Amino acid sequence: DVAFSPNGDRSKDRITLVPRTNNEIGITDFTVEILNENGLAVRSFGGRSRLQSEISWDGLGEDGRIVPEGTYKGLLKINYANGATVEASSNAFVVDISFPTAELSSDFKLFSPNGDGQKDKVTFNQSTSQEESWLGEVFNGQNQKIREFSWKGVAETFQWDGTDEARNPVPDGLYSYKLSSVDPAGNRTSVDITNLRIDNRPANAFL
């Protein structure tokens, strides 16, 4: 189903309904009702003589408040001067104002992926809501993306071994990791870990 999120974040805040008929001659009036899952009208639009080219709904009910999350559809009713009435329903669409949720942490921020068995990998602990997809991105100190991971459903905890997309070891320096998701209604969530440091310099001792 088509989804939108009337939460004021400027991403899919409205849905557009397009009334159509093959006979616009003799129209006296028309209405477009937004029906909830129980078939009750939560918002109504209307006009006379001719159909509007499109109707943009902002997710507000007749009381001026955002309607509850759920599945809705539009119902078009057209009345003609000869007494005829025709109706047509739109496909179902979803009102969804809930953002994806995510918790993110790492076991440490300083590691040395040099194969000595000590802090060779950093673990990203991820706990998320069920979504269509999640994207994990590693950036270097110049904010250039060097590695990408993806998951369907939930983002799983995993380990990064300090390599780039070509599996080459990255140089010493600062890095960051971002986990993000955008649901079908346009609700976006992102969390990140900054100041991850890779340091492979050998430790020297003198006596």
**Helical H segments across 3-157, by residue range:** none
Task: State the residue for tokens 């005829």.
Answer: 84
What is residue 21's predicted lDDT score, i.e. its pLDDT? 93
Distances (CA, A) of 85 to 31, 37, 51, 105: 11, 24, 14, 60
Q: Using 50, 70 and 90 to split pLDDT, how confident is the model at 49? A: confident
Q: How far apart are CA 15 and CA 3, in angstroms?
A: 8
What is residue 117's predicted lDDT score, i.e. its pLDDT? 87
Count of Cβ atoms closer than 10 Å to residue 65 Cβ? 10
pLDDT digits (tens, 9 = 90+) for 83-142: 999 999 999 999 999 999 999 999 999 999 988 889 999 999 999 999 999 999 999 999
Q: What are phi and psi of 32, to 5 degrees?
A: -125, 115
16 and 50 Cβ atoms separated by less than 8 Å: no
Distances (CA, A) of 114 to 6, 62, 111, 123: 49, 64, 9, 16
| Average pLDDT score, the chain | 95
Which amino acid, residue 197?
R
Closest CA to 162 of 202, 127, 119: 119
Taking residues 73-86, report their average pLDDT: 96
Is residue 205 over pLDDT 70? no
What is residue 204's predicted lDDT score, i.e. its pLDDT? 62
What is residue 111's predicted lDDT score, i.e. its pLDDT? 94
pLDDT digits (tens, 9 = 90+) for 19-42: 999 998 999 999 999 999 999 999
Strand pairing partners for 94?
3, 71
pLDDT digits (tens, 9 = 90+) for 152-191: 999 999 999 999 999 999 999 999 999 999 999 999 999 9
CA angle 185, 182, 177 (to 5 degrees): 165
Tokens standing for 146? 């060097």
93 and 15 Cβ atoms separated by less than 8 Å: yes
Task: State the residue for tokens 């993806």.
Answer: 150
Tokens standing for 138? 């590693």
